[in-house]
Amino acid sequence: MDVREFEPEDAEKLSQLIVRNLRQVLIEDYSAEAIEALAPFFTPEKLIESSKQQFTLVGVLGNDLVGTAALDGDRVRTVFVEATRHRSGIGSQLMAALEAYARQHRVRRLYLMSGISACGFYEKLGYKIVKRFERDLNGVPIPVIQMEKVLVRD
């Protein structure tokens, strides 16, 4: 798999991948109402706009866009892998590339908000649970797990 920076031409495929992932994978942990409240955050236009403020990577196999991960300062965001390719190392490769980028930019600690089903994945990568809480998204409660990983020890 090739890992490269997001380009605006990726936006349509990436939006489809993320929304499909929300509806196929996260539906196991969240209500349909919660999924539909999240989906509008991942339109092609919003992905292009967010890529201007954060470092966004995509994973590509042949002509297929198979995953993404983004870094906004010390915050990991928008980590998704094509559902049919879970447990194939794509997410780990994307996270390793993000962490390498963070270290190069002297980021000492990374934070993320994990969904229920992804928590074990992040724990295997060395992230620790900080707290669990519910986030209100337009009146829809969404359970969230805040996690962190120390990249550079003091």
Residue 96's pLDDT is what? 98
Q: What pLDDT, in 10s, does the model give residues 13-49?
A: 999 999 999 999 888 888 888 898 889 999 999 999 9
64-72, strands of its sheet edge to edge: 2-5, 55-61, 64-72, 75-81, 109-114, 140-150, 128-137
Stretch 50-78: mean pLDDT: 97
Q: What single letter denotes the amino acid at residue 43?
A: T
**Residue 66's Cα: distance from chain center in Å?**
12
Structural domain count of the chain: 1
Domain that holds residue 28: 2-150
For residue 146, give the 3-state DSSP assignment: strand
- Rounded CA gap, 108 and 74, in Å? 8
CATH number at residue 12: 3.40.630.30
Q: What pLDDT, in 10s, does the model give residues 65-118?
A: 999 999 999 999 999 999 999 999 999 999 999 999 999 999 999 999 998 889
Residue 152's pLDDT is what? 84
CA atoms within 13 A on the CB side of 81: 18
Rg of the chain (C-alpha set): 15
Q: What single letter denotes the amino acid at residue 44?
A: P
50-65 b/e (C-beta count within 10 Å ≥ 16 → b):
bbeeebbbbbeeeeeb
